[in-house]
Copies of this chain bind each other. A is one copy, B any other.
C-alpha cells in the first residue's frame, strides 16, 4: 500500500495545513508518512502545494511526481497538475473556484463547493480546506475518520478546533 497525494491551490487557502493534518492522521493510523510543503508564496498570492506520501513501509524521501489523489483549490493548480494525476486516479476540485475539466475518463472526479460553503456555513473562506479534507475522506480510503478528527483537533488552534471539525464533517456530506 502506497498512496501519493498532492494538494494545490493559492497561498492562503490552507493547502499546507491540510497536508500537515492528513500526514499526521496517517501517522496516527500507524502508517509511514513523508510530507512536503512549500512556504514563502503566501505573501504574493501565488501557487502553494503540499504533498503527502503514505505507506505501510518505510518511504524513500524523493518528492511526489505522479499522484493517486489530486486535490485542487484553484484553476491554475488544476491546469498545472492534472497531467501528474495517475490514470485511474482521483481528482477533487473546489467547484467554487475551479471549472470542471475534461478528464476524458482518465480519472474519477469529485466536486465540492468548498469555498462557498465555508463562507456561507462557517463564516470564513479559511475553512474551505477542511471541507476539502472531508471530501477526501469520503471518496478515498486513505486514513481513518477517527485519526483525521484527532489530527484536526491537535493541529488547529484550540478556539477553532470545533469549527474545523464541523467543516471537515460537512465536507463529507457535500462532496459529489
Interface string of A25-63 (1 = CB under 8 A from B): 011001111111111111100000001000000010111
* In the complex, A111 has a CB within 8 A of chain B: no
Interface centre among A24, A59, A63 (most CB of B within 10 A): A63
With A30-B43, A62-B62, A62-B63 known, 8 other A-B pairs at CB within 8 A are A27-B39, A30-B40, A33-B38, A33-B39, A36-B61, A36-B63, A61-B64, A63-B63
Q: Are A23 and B39 also in contact (CB < 8 A) when A51-B61, A62-B63 are?
A: yes
The complex is assembled from copies of this chain, and their number is 2
Q: A33–B26 contact, CB under 8 A?
A: no
A-B contact pairs, 19 of them (CB 8 A): A23-B37, A24-B39, A26-B40, A27-B39, A27-B40, A27-B42, A30-B43, A32-B39, A32-B40, A33-B40, A34-B36, A34-B38, A35-B38, A38-B61, A51-B61, A61-B64, A62-B62, A62-B63, A63-B63
From residue A53, how far is it (CB to closest CB) to chain B in Å?
Answer: 9
State the CA gap A23–B16 with chains docked (Å): 12
A35 CA to B33 CA, complexed, in Å: 14
Contact A34 B37 (CB under 8 A): yes
Q: A173 to nearest B CB, angstroms?
A: 29
Residue of A31, A42, A51, A62 with most chain B CB atoms under a 10 A cut-off: A62
